[in-house]
């Protein structure tokens, strides 16, 4: 009896699970530990800098550090909310209000299938840049607050700065590949729409209803917009993890 292979069920962050589903990829989950993977990502100069941060003399701590308080928590929440709203409220990703079509609506649906993915790619990259800038500024501010705490906490700020510099290029390359992965999802949805429209036209030529009420031309584009928003929000979660770590350290210090 033929056994149909089961696709890998990923247990990682929502971003990985979403991309695995949308790209229809069957990639085996890595068995490498985080430390093993990091050792491959860090160059020798990065390793030296990290070793110095971990094992060197603790950084000097400035006196007169102000306490971490609700205003700082609110600022972090404001930055995250602002980035979330930038994604959720983006005009390119706004879904259109559509109704069940009349026969004459087929030409406009055909226009939808001619939409260029480059518009979405550029918007994704732009929103990535917005996230990188906003989170990077916030992360630096939190490190500055940590550096004014105890020597042990100041060391954590130094380690975070080293890791940000060491992994920035790798992170940019990995996340920069996401728009390319979504291009395949976009194309599959468009091909399915073209097939549905061709079937509807064939039915019309046979004196059947031009389009069934179950199929709304152009709805595929709204499906893609929602999927792209979901991926961007999941990416925001991943990008915000270092900030969450710094916040936890400040709360405990």
Segment 140-155, tens digit of pLDDT = 999 988 888 888 888 9
* pLDDT level of residue 3 (50, 70, 90 thresholds): very low
Distance CA 141, CA 95 (A): 36
- What's the chain's average pLDDT? 82
Q: So what's the pLDDT on residue 194?
A: 87
CA angle in degrees (0–180, nearest 5) for 51-54-59: 120
Contacts of 210 (CB under 8 A, 6+ apart): 101, 102, 103, 106, 200, 201, 203, 204
**Dist CA 84 CA 169 (whole Å):** 24
Where in the chain are the domains? 41-56+65-90+105-252
**pLDDT at residue 18 greater than cutoff 80:** yes
First to last CA, the chain: 61
Alpha-carbon distance of 215 to 200, in angstroms, equals: 9
Q: Using one digit for the tens of pLDDT, what is the confidence trace for 75-133?
A: 999 999 999 999 999 999 988 665 555 444 555 555 666 789 999 999 999 999 999 99
CA distance 64 to 229: 43
Q: Comparing C-alpha atoms, which of 98, 100, 107 is closest to residue 201?
A: 107
What are 185-243's pLDDT values in tens digits? 999 999 988 888 877 667 655 555 554 545 677 789 999 999 999 999 999 999 999 99
Please tell me the predicted confidence (pLDDT) of residue 113. 66
Question: Which pLDDT does position 207 carry in this prediction?
Answer: 56
CA 156/CA 158 separation, integer angstroms? 5
Answer whether residue 53 shows pLDDT above 90.
no
**So what's the pLDDT on residue 244?**
95
Helix/strand/coil for 102: coil
Instruction: Please say if the pLDDT value at position 1 is more than 50.
Output: no
Please tell me the predicted confidence (pLDDT) of residue 26.
60
Measured CA to CA, the distance from residue 200 to residue 75 in angstroms comes to: 53
Mean pLDDT throughout 65-77? 83
Q: What is the pLDDT of residue 47?
A: 83
Q: According to the model, what pLDDT value does residue 77 have?
A: 95
pLDDT at residue number 4 = 36
CA distances from 128 to 84, 119, 251 (A): 12, 14, 28
């Amino acid at each position: 009896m033929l056994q149909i292979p089961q696709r890998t069920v990923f247990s990682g962050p929502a971003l990985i699970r979403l991309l695995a589903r949308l790209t229809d990829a069957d990639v085996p989950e890595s068995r490498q530990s985080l430390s093993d993977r990091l050792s491959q990502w860090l160059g020798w100069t990065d390793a030296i800098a990290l070793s110095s941060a971990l094992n060197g003399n603790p950084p000097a701590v400035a006196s007169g550090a102000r306490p971490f308080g609700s205003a700082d928590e609110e600022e972090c929440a404001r930055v995250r909310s602002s980035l979330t709203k930038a994604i959720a409220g983006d005009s390119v990703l706004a879904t259109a209000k559509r109704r069940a079509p009349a026969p004459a609506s087929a030409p406009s649906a055909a226009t939808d299938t001619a939409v260029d993915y480059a518009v979405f790619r550029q918007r994704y990259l732009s929103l990535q840049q917005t996230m990188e800038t906003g989170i990077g500024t916030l992360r630096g501010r939190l490190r500055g607050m940590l550096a004014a705490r105890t020597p042990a906490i100041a060391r954590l700020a130094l380690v975070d700065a080293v890791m940000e510099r060491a992994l920035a290029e790798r992170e940019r390359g990995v996340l920069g590949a996401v728009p390319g992965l979504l291009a395949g999802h976009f194309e599959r949805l468009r091909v399915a729409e073209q097939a549905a429209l061709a079937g509807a036209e064939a039915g019309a030529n046979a004196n059947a209803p031009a389009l069934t009420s179950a199929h709304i031309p152009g709805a595929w584009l709204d499906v893609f917009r929602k999927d792209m928003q979901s991926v961007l929000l999941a990416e925001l979660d991943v990008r915000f993890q270092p900030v969450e770590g710094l916040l936890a350290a400040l709360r405990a210090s």
